[in-house]
């Protein structure tokens, strides 16, 4: 469908948690399962979302909120599918907050939707601090970023319910140690689910979407 | 040398520019050339710094300030060289500010140093907004992050004096379009220098260090 662009002029930090609680109640009432997807720039958020749409769009009605500092590059990619998408431009702010989602959810419409995917601003730091009323926080770490990232950006790894390890097609060309990564992350966050995938080749996507579909149906 | 860890308890944003002006005057007085190195997590800041040390440490006395939210992983890597290094842990803050550098510069000592490299927190957003008294802002974009990043994180690309395009050894395994990237970046920031390198193989490092050495000698 057509892409809408929403501009948020100010990064309103105060009372984020209260707004997030209200959002969560509204999402629960509408029975929409909400995933807040976070990662560094270029880790593959949009590519993973496109794979999820490809896999689940015939089973559940999906909506996407795209968060970017500027541009609508990602929303245009999502807009090529049949899925409803709203673009938020944060105009400099390095993360989404509950107030932005409140406005975007109105614009998107929740009626009949079973899954709402929020693509946060590409940043491994600040987005982890701002609840958006989501059911699950999911993060992506891509192979070229290196397996030492949990030690350096701990909050993102401890806050997330699932970790998507993307670009595993690049494993042969890097020094990334998947076992070491698993050990570190599970030591920090024993309940986290880890999904090694390649959004490029499709490897591992089935496990990820099966888990997500289960969570959506459980709501 | 031994690695010192410095803790900064609060992210003090106010008066950053004023503090940065004071820092710059102090760096000028000490005749130390300062490079503020920024990128996303995992783009290769520490690996590039190690290459610069390898290339220039016999010509100029180098100091390094390592900025991380948590951990001293990177400072320990730099600490294996002969170069003085101070670690700043921002304890959650997503960027360095001038106040942190003020404290770290005291701890590091500027006397006799010709080049100070500041490795900022891995983040393509906030670090671009905070001046640290530097002579040049240098950013790294790594090939796996994709060539669409300038459109999505414009401030970093317009603020930087030089762009290091790292991990060019991965070009054959990605869809990264170097010509497209050059066109976009030069359209936004015509004066920016672009250095394609591989910190892993060493390709392109000579051009980068020759440019940097010229700037250091010119101060």
pLDDT in tens, B133-184: 999 999 999 999 999 999 999 999 999 999 999 999 999 999 999 999 999 9
Tell me if A152 and B124 make a contact (CB, 8 A cut-off).
no
Task: Summarize pLDDT for B172-195 with one digit per residue, the tens.
Answer: 999 999 999 999 999 999 999 999
Q: Which residues touch A177 (CB under 8 Å, ≥6 apart)?
A: A147
CA distance A91 to B140: 22
CA distance B68 to B131: 17
Question: Which one of A41, A151, A169 has the shortest CB-CB distance to B71?
Answer: A151
Homologous superfamily in CATH for domain A4-217: P-loop containing nucleotide triphosphate hydrolases (3.40.50.300)
Identify the band that residue A15 occupies on the pLDDT scale cut at 50, 70 and 90. confident
Residue to substitute from B94, B96, B159, B172, interface A, most A β-carbons within 10 A: B94
Q: Which residues touch B68 (CB under 8 Å, ≥6 apart)?
A: A152, B74, B75, B87, B88, B89, B90, B121
Domain boundaries of chain B, sorted by first residue = 4-217
Q: How many CB atoms lie within 10 A of CB A155?
A: 17
Spatial CA neighbour of B88 closest among B9, B16, B20, B8: B8
Beta-sheet strand order (sheet of B84-89): B4-7, B84-89, B62-68, B115-119, B33-39, B136-142, B162-166, B193-196
Instruction: Tally the C-alpha atoms within 13 A of residue A43's C-alpha that lie toward its C-beta.
Output: 32
Measured between CA atoms, the residue of chain B closest to residue A170 is B173
The DSSP annotation for A155-211 comes to HHHHH-SEEEEE-GGGGGGS---HHHHHHHHHHH-TT-EEEE--TTT-TTHHHHHHH
Task: Summarize pLDDT for A75-102 with one digit per residue, the tens.
Answer: 999 999 999 999 999 888 889 999 899 9
Percent of chain A with pLDDT over 90: 84
Question: Which one of A73, A148, A170 has the shortest CB-CB distance to B151?
Answer: A73
Task: Summarize pLDDT for A123-140 with one digit per residue, the tens.
Answer: 999 999 899 999 999 999
Which pLDDT does position B30 carry in this prediction? 96
CB-based contact, A180 to chain B, within 8 Å:
no
CA distance A206 to A195: 10
Identify the band that residue B10 occupies on the pLDDT scale cut at 50, 70 and 90. very low
| Residues of chain A positioned with their CB less than 8 A from the CB of B155 | 69, 92
For residue B124 the two structure tokens come to 């393509």
CB-based contact, B159 to chain A, within 8 Å:
no
Burial of B52 (0-12, 13-18, 19+ CB in 10 A): buried
Tell me if B70 and A152 make a contact (CB, 8 A cut-off).
yes
The DSSP secondary-structure symbol of B41 reads T
Q: To the nearest whole angstrom, how far is the Cα of B90 from the nearest Cα of chain A?
A: 11
| Residues of chain A positioned with their CB less than 8 A from the CB of B149 | 41-42
Residues 110-129 of B with CB under 8 A from A: 121-126, 129
Q: To the nearest whole angstrom, how far is the Cα of B173 from the nearest Cα of chain A?
A: 7
Q: Which residues touch A14 (CB under 8 Å, ≥6 apart)?
A: none
Distance of CA A167 to the CA centre of its chain: 16
ipTM: 0.86
CA distance B3 to A202: 43
Cβ pair A96, A19 in contact under 8 A: no
CB-based contact, B40 to chain A, within 8 Å:
yes
CA distance B152 to B4: 36
The answer on pLDDT for B18 being more than 70 is: yes
pTM, two decimals, is 0.90
Backbone phi, psi, residue A173, to 5°: -105, 10
Which pLDDT does position A9 carry in this prediction? 31
Q: To the nearest whole angstrom, how far is the Cα of A115 from the nearest Cα of chain B?
A: 25
Identify the band that residue B14 occupies on the pLDDT scale cut at 50, 70 and 90. low
Q: To the nearest whole angstrom, how far is the Cα of A48 from the nearest Cα of chain B?
A: 14
For residue B77 the two structure tokens come to 């890597």
Question: Which one of A69, A148, A174 has the shortest CB-CB distance to B153?
Answer: A69
Measured between CA atoms, the residue of chain A closest to residue B129 is A92
Tell me if B144 and A167 make a contact (CB, 8 A cut-off).
yes
Percent of chain B with pLDDT over 70: 94
């Amino acid at each position: 469908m057509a892409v809408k662009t929403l501009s948020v002029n100010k990064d309103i930090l105060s009372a984020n948690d209260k707004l997030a609680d209200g959002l969560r109640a509204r999402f629960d009432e509408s029975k929409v399962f909400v995933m807040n997807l976070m990662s560094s720039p270029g880790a593959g958020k949009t590519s993973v979302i496109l794979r999820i749409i490809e896999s689940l769009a015939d089973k559940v009605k999906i909506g996407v909120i795209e968060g970017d500092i500027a541009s609508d590059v990602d929303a245009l990619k999502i807009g090529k599918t049949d899925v409803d998408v709203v673009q938020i431009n944060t105009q400099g702010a390095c993360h989404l907050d509950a107030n932005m989602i409140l406005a975007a959810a109105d614009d998107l419409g929740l009626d009949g939707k079973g899954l709402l995917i929020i693509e946060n601003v590409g940043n491994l730091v600040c987005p982890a601090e701002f609840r958006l009323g989501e059911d699950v926080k999911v993060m992506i770490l891509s192979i070229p970023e290196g397996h030492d990232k949990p030690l350096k950006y701990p909050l993102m790894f401890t806050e997330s319910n699932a970790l998507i390890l993307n670009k595993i097609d690049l494993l042969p060309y890097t020094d990334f140690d998947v076992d070491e990564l698993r050990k570190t992350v599970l030591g920090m966050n024993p309940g986290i689910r880890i999904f090694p995938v390649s959004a490029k080749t499709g490897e591992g996507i089935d496990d990820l979407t099966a888990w997500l579909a289960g969570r959506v149906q459980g709501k």
